[in-house]
A and B are shown apart, each in its own frame.
Chain A
């Protein structure tokens, strides 16, 4: 499995983060983040609660503003220029912990909305694309229901399909399975694994260590707003270097 993971990584840089710092008021959330993600790479970010994992990936599509350093996505520099922000957002898909589907629209409308309005895709074509991705996440038969009628796992898969309909080149996941019951986690992870196997560039905040071992090229451990350790999954789990990583791993793998 590790081999298939290695194969698809190219030299092309998808995301380059340089000395990025962020403050919430006076609180220094992210400190000197340096991270380069290559196209096709799958990165899992983990770390204790409050360590700034969500904040980091939300900075990448400008849901949060960073105050120092630079973020470059697909060669576009993220600045306060709205044009650049819109360009980056339309290339970067994002899945949230609480799905954030649009409850007043059907599943199909959720999936076609952004392609129609942002990409100006004709409605018919957008619907075909949407059905394609809904089939991929294995819920085409729910297309005309509303989000409130679906289970949590189904909703998260719709959220993934909704992002994919924009044909993103990078996908960000913020704890996509942590609001789900155990039996639903698997169906979402399966979808994500499939996506990884197709070579999608992925940044994923998750505590699903099985998933990390299976698909990640790199695992990043964050604490107190800094990247404390990063390594290939085997080395990361079997031979963690920093004491903080060891403590964290012993806590989440311990029971």
Chain B
């Protein structure tokens, strides 16, 4: 019927068309190949060239990988097994496995301690990373740093215990006062915490046991990939809150606060990390009271944290600037005070915008932890370049060792990147 009317201009649809299924995807794999790999002459040429390079890459590396030797006890033994054929000498990994992971001074009967700390880490970060998990789990997250410290460094339990008690007391004081004034509550909480730490120091000294439950391990004895993980996790989790504070400080109307933040950020960004690390190694000792002997690990953590928090502050400042002014005004007009407006309205949105930038910095920071090898800390790179390559057994096994280190770093960094993409999708509420 519609055919007969097709030529007339005026048209009224009398019955609606039934919905139809979308057309099937036509063509098989052959058509896919033609459409995607060889659609034009130029593209076909590119495909062929790319395939050739792929072939070269695999032809070079596959025999080396597949022909790898796993059981030998030294490089010369490896060469004997291979007998002239190409092949990797992966035996170095199995033979020096513990050194690569834990360094060469950590007591070998205590390896279970950092391993347990790593396992518990997953439990502790889970509620932070996955906002849908029950909030009660955050309790363990709060305890974890103290527990992990005790597990890894050992020694009397009083130190970490009183540190934890101080934080809890400080938080309770803060929570009690916070509805009066945020700043006063923060100051009172800090004072309370410091008081507890001070008193706890004396009690801890008095109660020092003859032989602690966990054997004490000095920071100098930490090493291997464990050290990279410890530095990375500590510094990322410290530099995020500090970076937020710096970003907010930089926006502040108070000239002194603003000035301090600007100078700090600009100074730290203008200096190479490696300089800061040398400073940590040598100079920082002068700033602390003599005899306090601030641990090298802590000094390095301070420097890396300073460095990355300055970068994170700038990323977050970008996020803050991207928010429309109306968000601040709406929060103000509802009567929210500064702290509430920031915490409930501004930061959640600004941080969401900043996720890609923050992740970028977190990944970079994690890889930069290998720089500590230049101040003679034996992280995984320090271990490889130092004790392992210098030993007569394994002198010359560069590829296998650095490949292994790369794989470890890749796994962690790729994991972070995948997580951040998931998080962005999870937080997408704008439906644009």
Contact = CB atoms under 8 A, between A and B. Distances in A.
Interface of A: 61-63, 82, 86, 89-90, 92-94, 96, 98, 100-104, 113-114, 117-118, 120, 146, 148-149, 162-163, 166
B415 to A, nearest CB: 26
A89 B345 contact: no
B213 interface: no
B10 interface: no
A82 B337 CA distance: 9
B345 A63 contact: no
B335 interface: yes
B349 A104 contact: yes
A86 B429 CA distance: 30
Interface of B: 179, 324, 326-327, 329-330, 332-337, 340, 344-345, 348-349, 352, 427, 429-432
A61 B330 contact: no
A86 B327 contact: no
B7 to A, nearest CB: 36
Chain A CB count within 10 A is highest, among B324, B334, B427, B430, for B334
Contacts of A148: 429-432
The 6 closest A-B CB pairs, nearest first, are: A90-B335, A100-B330, A100-B326, A114-B334, A148-B431, A94-B333
A114 B336 contact: yes
Chain B CB count within 10 A is highest, among A89, A101, A166, for A89
Contacts of B432: 148
A92 B332 CA distance: 11
B332 A117 contact: no
Given A100-B327, A102-B327, A148-B430, A63 B332 contact: yes
18 contacts: A63-B329, A63-B332, A82-B337, A89-B332, A89-B333, A100-B327, A100-B330, A102-B349, A104-B349, A113-B336, A113-B345, A114-B334, A117-B336, A118-B340, A146-B431, A148-B430, A148-B431, A163-B333
B335 A89 contact: yes
A120 B329 contact: no
A98 B326 contact: yes
B98 to A, nearest CB: 46
A62 B337 CA distance: 13
Contact of B329 (A90, A96, A149): A96
A120 B349 CA distance: 23
A146 B431 CA distance: 8
A62 B324 CA distance: 19
Contacts of B344: 113, 117
A24 B345 CA distance: 27
B335 A118 contact: yes
Contacts of A82: 337
A209 B179 CA distance: 45
B157 to A, nearest CB: 39
A163 B335 CA distance: 10
Given A146-B430, A148-B429, A148-B432, A102 B335 contact: no
A63 B334 contact: no
Tell me if B's interface is mostly helix, strand, loop or mixed: helix
Contacts of A100: 324, 326-327, 329-330
Nearest to B341: A117
B303 to A, nearest CB: 35
Nearest to A118: B335
Contacts of B430: 103, 146, 148
A187 to B, nearest CB: 21
Contacts of A114: 334-336
A162 B336 CA distance: 13
B337 A86 contact: yes
A173 B336 CA distance: 19
Given A90-B334, A92-B333, A96-B326, 10 more contacts: A63-B333, A94-B333, A102-B330, A102-B345, A102-B349, A103-B349, A103-B430, A113-B345, A117-B340, A117-B344
A89 B337 CA distance: 10
A148 B337 CA distance: 25
Contacts of B337: 82, 86
Contacts of A103: 349, 429-430
Nearest to B427: A104
A227 B80 CA distance: 99
Chain A CB count within 10 A is highest, among B179, B348, B431, for B431
B334 A101 contact: no
Contacts of A96: 326, 329-330
A90 B333 CA distance: 7
Contacts of A166: 334-335
Contacts of B334: 89-90, 113-114, 118, 162-163, 166
A148 B432 CA distance: 7
A120 B431 contact: no
Contacts of A63: 329, 332-333
Contacts of A86: 335, 337
Chain A CB count within 10 A is highest, among B330, B333, B427, B431, for B333
Contacts of A101: 330
Contacts of B335: 86, 89-90, 114, 118, 166
Contacts of B352: 104
A120 B179 contact: yes
A90 B329 CA distance: 13
A47 to B, nearest CB: 21
Nearest to B348: A104
A209 B4 CA distance: 51
B326 A149 contact: no
A146 B326 contact: no
Contacts of A120: 179
A245 to B, nearest CB: 30
Contacts of A163: 333-334
Nearest to B323: A103
A148 B427 CA distance: 13
